[in-house]
Amino acid sequence: MGTAIRDLLKREEINLDYLNGRTVGIDSHNMLYQFLSTIRGRDGTPLMDSKGRVTSHLTGLLYRTVNLIEREVNHVFVFDGKPPELKGETLRARHKIRTEAAKKFEDAKAKGEVAEAKKYAQQAVRLTKEMIEDAKKLISLMGLPIVQAPSEGEAQIATMVTAGKLYGAISQDYDALLFGTPLLFRNITISGKRKVPGRDYYYNISPEKIDLKANLEALGIDRRKLIWIGLLVGTDFNKKFPKVGAKTALKLVTKFDRFEEIIENAKYKPDFDYKEIENIFMNPASTDEYDLKFELPKMNEIKDLLVNEHDFGAERVENALKKLQEKIDDQGKQSRLSQWG
């Protein structure tokens, strides 16, 4: 669904300190794709170690995690499992786009067309099983919990937030709201900037909070009708209705109380089972088999993984780990002071 419903939603700008002391779930695949897309060389080539393995995601993960720990944001990484069968067409389309973009990237790079190369490089981003396993290894060494979702990561987070296990979700994907995430946090970056897709241009952003309940009340609809809006403007499981944008979709779901009536009014016969997609969102697939235990980072092992295994600069890693250690020492000092008080 991307940003299709963005203009319908009220978003509250916040300071990152708002999340101080809270435990949030990170849509891990969403975050790793961001790192792979933006952390690249001048011509769009991703960061790699001496063995040719991509390390852009590990770079982003290290600094984002240290930054959140410094801000005392307790974060849990939730990873996607097996995608629903209905997502197959979307995944095949994305694979085709990435394959074509990868070829155009190599062609542009060979011709020395830097801007074009960088544009296609971002479109060609792939998150492989090896990258995911490397990310999980780094996360574990940093002492942070990992939750393996049975299906969609956003669905798992939504269930955990609703159950009171997490405060909210960190993701750029508005689909998290369709799954019922009560609080969605976006733009949680270190730099306060985000890159425009396909262009060598960055714009300033601020962290923002989206309150699902408040937005539903403001729109005068329930979550089921928000899902209907998603169905009309397109989700990962279906194509959008032609000539129907978010505002038109809102008018339709406000006017009609049955999706069949909306279909009839839109004069379009969809080629998907809307009830099945609605059920995916209304009853998110999830598991309660996880451990949200936070542990101390294993500093030497982190350094070994990044510096010795993946050729990171020793000084940069040591500086990041120094910040981490200083925060741990400070928290220990505060804990002792509170005990003495």
Q: Is there a contact between 141 and 297 (Cβ–Cβ < 8 Å)?
A: yes
Tell me the per-residue pLDDT of 296-328, one tens digit each, with 9 for 90 and over. 999 999 999 999 999 999 999 999 999 999 999
Sequence spans of domains, the chain: 1-218, 220-270
| Per-residue pLDDT tens digits for 173-190 | 999 999 999 999 999 986
Query: Would you say 326 is a known binding-site residue?
Result: no
Q: Is 7 annotated as a binding residue?
A: no
Return the number of other C-beta atoms located less than 10 Å from residue 142's C-beta: 23
Determine if residue 264 is labeled as part of a ligand binding site.
Answer: no
74: phi then psi, degrees, rounded to nearest 5: -80, 115
- Contact between 235 and 1 under an 8 Å Cβ cutoff? The reply is yes
Look up tokens 């309150």; give the residue: 211
Q: Is 154 annotated as a binding residue?
A: yes
* CA distance readout (Å), 308 to 36, 236, 299, 300, 302: 21, 39, 13, 11, 10
Beta strands 183-186; 208-211: pairing state: antiparallel
Q: What is the pTM of this model?
A: 0.89
CA distances 259 to 148, 254, 256, 264, 266, Å, are: 33, 11, 7, 9, 10
- Which residue type is seen at 133? E
**In the 8-state DSSP scheme, what is residue 84?**
P
Query: Mapping DSSP to helix (H, G, I), strand (E, B) and coil, where does residue 23 land?
Result: strand
The pairing of strands 168-170 and 146-148 is: unpaired
Q: What is the pLDDT of residues 134-185, one digit of tens each?
A: 999 999 999 999 999 999 999 999 999 999 999 999 999 999 999 999 999 9
pLDDT band at 234 (very low <50, low <70, confident <90, very high): very high
178, 235 Cβ separation under 8 angstroms: yes
DSSP 304: I
Span 58-79, average pLDDT: 97
Residues sharing a CB contact under 8 Å with residue 333, sequence separation 6 or more, in sequence order:
none
152 is in an annotated binding site: yes
Per CATH, domain 1-218 is 3.40.50.1010: yes
Minimal CA–CA distance to 278: which of 211, 226, 241?
226
Residue 86 has pLDDT above 60, yes or no: yes
Annotate 5-32 with b (16+ C-beta within 10 A) or e (fewer). beebbeeeeeebeebeeebbbbbbbbbb
For 120, list phi and psi in degrees, rounded to 5.
-70, -30
Query: 201-224: per-residue pLDDT in tens?
Result: 566 889 999 999 999 999 999 999
Best CA proximity match to 28, nearest among 89, 63, 79: 79
80 is in an annotated binding site: yes
49, 55 contact by CB (below 8 A): yes
Please indicate if the annotation marks 116 as binding a ligand: no
